[in-house]
Amino acid sequence: MDVSSRRTPGASALADAPGEYVSIGALEDAHVHAADRDKEELLRYGIASVRDMGSTGLATDLQSDCWPTRRSLQVQRGGRVFDAPYSTLRTAWPWHDDDDLKRIIYSLPNSWSHIKIYSSFPSTQIPWLCQQAVGRGLTITIHPGADALLTAIPALDEVAHITSVLGYIEPLPHAIPQLIQRWSAGFTKIEIDDIINRARLAQLCPTLSVFHAWLEAKSFDGVPQNVRSTLRSSRKVVEAAWENMIMMANLLFHAGVTFRIGSDTPNRGVAPGYSLWKEVDLISQAIERPRITVLEMAASGTGETIRVRRAVLDRFLCTGVPPAPEDIQTGKE
Ligand SMILES: [Zn+2]
């Protein structure tokens, strides 16, 4: 039962006392690369569902209900990504021709919710792949490569990462340092209008956490090699890129683009569970909306609730410091 309901009138002095909990909706991390080792930590942070945005499929039995908390993590499955033919990515489907693609699409279990098209998938084949996926009732998320968003994409549901919206106006640079350079240069009014008009056609999962973790990194250990050199030589460029991403997120949200809240865990610099709360904080700052509003945007569709220590939730809502697992009660009573 909800402990807070035991409060008596006039007991407001107890509001911050230990043991006082507030119920809120359980959360969804809309962008994870599912790995079995992360699921307990996700649950401990009050996350009830995740969307798998590229994994080796190790996680296909994540729904097993065997955790000490007696909760299960609902996984909206996407599994491997569609990347270049002969891709060496561990998390990409091996495929060589259209027949392979068709075989893959039609062998996906009915329980899958979406496919993800990754950066080196040939843009000329995207419309065809989308058509196949829609025929199977799957939604489509894209992490676009060069030209992908410039190509007319039917049935596109979601774009992954704020950096990707650049692809609405020009080919995305493949290498991260070039992408950072481009973002740091900023956009003209016409370019911004163009991005907004096209971005309205799909939802966006900005995943600000990873880039922000690079900026905050005390050492460069948590930063990919090619980003490290950019940070070392031109930190100002990285900071300018970040400012422009925040500005773009703000413009897109207020232009009516639907946001999904996802952390991109377990990328370097982000941690399962913790980083979803960080993402809520970052999005809240970017779109200049209260953290509680973004928490609601991140609610899972499972109907479950979690209980967060009142003082800790208040602290998060005021300062953005995420709760620790011991401040969150989850699980069936
Ligand atoms: Zn990702």
H or E, element range at 22: strand 21-25
Task: Look at residues 163, 103, 167 and name the one whose alpha carbon lies nearest to residue 136.
Answer: 103
CA distance 333 to 329: 10
Quote the tokens at residue 162. 């704020």
**What angle (nearest 5°) sits at the alpha carbon of residue 236, between those of residues 231 and 242?**
85
**Is residue 126 domain-resident?**
no
Find the 2 Cα to ligand 1 centroid distance in Å.
36
pLDDT of residue 168: 94
- Which residues touch 169 (CB under 8 Å, ≥6 apart)? 150, 187, 191, 194, 195
Find the 207 Cα to ligand 1 centroid distance in Å.
8
pTM of structure? 0.89
CA distance 123 to 136: 20
Domain count, the chain: 1
**pLDDT 10s digit of each residue in the chain, 333 long?**
343 444 433 334 444 455 689 999 999 999 999 777 888 899 999 999 999 998 876 554 444 444 444 467 888 888 899 999 999 988 899 999 999 999 999 988 888 899 999 999 999 999 999 999 999 999 999 999 888 898 877 789 999 999 999 999 999 998 888 999 999 999 999 999 999 999 999 999 999 999 999 888 766 776 777 778 877 778 899 999 999 999 999 999 999 999 999 999 988 889 999 999 999 999 999 999 999 999 999 999 888 999 999 999 999 999 999 999 999 998 654
Quote the tokens at residue 120. 């080196």
Find the 55 Cα to ligand 1 centroid distance in Å.
9
**Is residue 226 domain-resident?**
yes
Helix (H/G/I), strand (E/B), else coil: 262: coil
Find the 198 Cα to ligand 1 centroid distance in Å.
22
**Is residue 283 domain-resident?**
yes
**Is residue 305 domain-resident?**
yes
**Is residue 120 domain-resident?**
no
CA distance 252 to 260: 13
For residue 188, what are the domain limits?
Answer: 20-78+157-329
- Which residues touch 15 (CB under 8 Å, ≥6 apart)? 7, 310
Q: DSSP states of 292-303 as a string?
A: HHHHHHTB-TT-
Find the 49 Cα to ligand 1 centroid distance in Å.
16
Find the 52 Cα to ligand 1 centroid distance in Å.
9
**Is residue 146 domain-resident?**
no
Which residue blocks in 20-97 are alpha helix, DSSP H?
A: 39-44
- Which residues touch 104 (CB under 8 Å, ≥6 apart)? 93, 95
H or E, element range at 159: strand 158-160
Positive or negative CA dihedral for 46, 297, 22, 212?
A: positive
pLDDT of residue 64: 41
**Is residue 319 domain-resident?**
yes
**Is residue 2 domain-resident?**
no
pLDDT of residue 11: 38
